[in-house]
Structure 1
Amino acid sequence: MKALLWNIRSVNTQKAFTRLINLNKRYQFYFIRLMEPFEDRQELEEYRRKFGMKHSTVNVNGKI
């Protein structure tokens, strides 16, 4: 089982999201964990859909 855990400052900067997509295509992760305390539920759902993942969860307290 392959997993990616990334404490990322902002997934929308420095082409980080494109890099994540390319990493997922290359390694086909079983799950991806993005630790980003400043993203909201709507953004998470968009990431989940773009990665083709079945499930997503969000921590709403704004902390990692």
Structure 2
Amino acid sequence: MTTATFRIIRHADGPVFFDDRTITLAEAQIIINDAIARGDLEVGSFLRIDDEELVIEHEVAG
């Protein structure tokens, strides 16, 4: 069994958030969690797999 890897994390509206090296989904989640802790991403942001990319989505309030 192989572990899925990804190279790009982008925002749902298009801009690239991460394109540095190949990472696993677990590593991507750590990157997103750190960005939320720094205030670079909204609380409630999460990852969605879209073909060979990861997409940052935002929790809809209310």
TM-score (norm 2): 0.34
More helix as a share of residues = 1
Q: Which has the higher contact order (CA 8 A, sep 6+)?
A: 1
